[in-house]
Amino acid sequence: MEDPESLPWMERGQLTPDREPLLQATGLGYRYGAFRALRDVSLQLAPGELLALVGRNGAGKSTLLRCLAGWYQVEEGTVEQGGGQAGGPTVVLVPDTPAFYAELTAFEHLQFIAQLHGRRDWASEGRRLLEVMGLEGHERAYASSFSRGMQYKLGLAIALLSRPDVLLLDEPFGPLDALSSEALYRELRRFASEGRGVLVSAHQMPPSVAPDRYLLLEDGELLCEGTPPELRQRYGLASLSGEDLLRAALGPSAVEDE
């Protein structure tokens, strides 16, 4: 596999004949009873790519992530995953409010996941991840005593330790402060640089986060997608953030409504 870091920034998110997508959804649809939450959504996630899924509240972002992770039984279309290592975790989703085992401490969550699968080199990596997430000093505390932001960071540390091929994050920046958001972004870049894929959903993206490609979801449909230069050109923008994209594609009221 080609080293994604060696590619020009523009090409990181693009597929070539020798680079298969890590995750591919085609014509995805999902309903909650009579309500159609997703319709005909198709997307690809390339190795080394950091993809941002933006959209307003209720646009279907969480549903799409749950379908991609296999938490929901897909009703229409297909989700295919390539490049997975046999026996290893392939797609891992961190939901917006992660759940934890009531009786295990923060560090024991990492230990449990790592040792259940016979990993011996996990401890230093686990400590490093907790440090990156700003959770050092809280290893021996129950996760239920954490604030929402700390709980999300712990959920992320556990997911990163499991080394999935694809990491799906639902609203990771929502409960985080600006410094933690920056640290998380650096960690996600590092993670993606190992040839893995990251898909991040957000209705508000911090300025420090620069994804390789944006997907805009509105009312369960994929409204537009593209790299930042493509979208800047399409909408005639000098700079591009998640909010800029929402405003340009849906009108100024889209962001004001938020």
Which residues form the interface with other proteins (CB under 8 A)?
Answer: 23, 66-74, 78-81, 84, 87-95, 98-105, 108, 111-113, 115-118, 120, 140-145, 155, 158-159, 162
Comparison of 104 and 223: residue with beta carbon closer to other proteins: 104
Comparison of 22 and 52: residue with beta carbon closer to other proteins: 22
Query: CB of residue 253 vs other proteins: minimum separation in angstroms?
Result: 35
The 10 Å CB-count burial string (b at 16+, else e) for 16-41 is eeebebbbbbeebbbeeeeebbbbeb
Instruction: For residue 140, give both structure tokens.
Output: 């021996």
Could you tell me if 239 and 40 are in contact, meaning their C-beta atoms sit under 8 angstroms apart? no
Handedness of CA 206, 197, 201, 176 (dihedral sign): negative
| Short-list 152, 213, 190, CA closest to 23 | 213
Could you tell me if 91 and 166 are in contact, meaning their C-beta atoms sit under 8 angstroms apart? yes
Query: CB of residue 148 vs other proteins: minimum separation in angstroms?
Result: 13
Query: CB of residue 163 vs other proteins: minimum separation in angstroms?
Result: 11
| Short-list 96, 104, 109, 187, CA closest to 154 | 109
Following DSSP, what letter does each residue of 159-189 receive, concatenated? HHHT--SEEEEESSSTT--HHHHHHHHHHHH
Query: CB of residue 124 vs other proteins: minimum separation in angstroms?
Result: 15
Comparison of 81 and 201: residue with beta carbon closer to other proteins: 81
Comparison of 9 and 101: residue with beta carbon closer to other proteins: 101
Comparison of 30 and 214: residue with beta carbon closer to other proteins: 30
Amino acid identity for residue 75 in this structure: E
CA distances from 111 to 91, 95, 140, 152, 230 (A): 20, 21, 12, 18, 43
Comparison of 46 and 94: residue with beta carbon closer to other proteins: 94
Sequence-ordered list of residues with C-beta below 8 angstroms from that of 154, at least 6 positions apart, any chain:
98, 100, 106, 109, 130, 133, 135, 143, 146
Query: CB of residue 105 vs other proteins: minimum separation in angstroms?
Result: 5
Instruction: For residue 109, give both structure tokens.
Output: 């969550």
Query: CB of residue 164 vs other proteins: minimum separation in angstroms?
Result: 8
Amino acid identity for residue 146 in this structure: F
Query: CB of residue 241 vs other proteins: minimum separation in angstroms?
Result: 29
Comparison of 74 and 210: residue with beta carbon closer to other proteins: 74
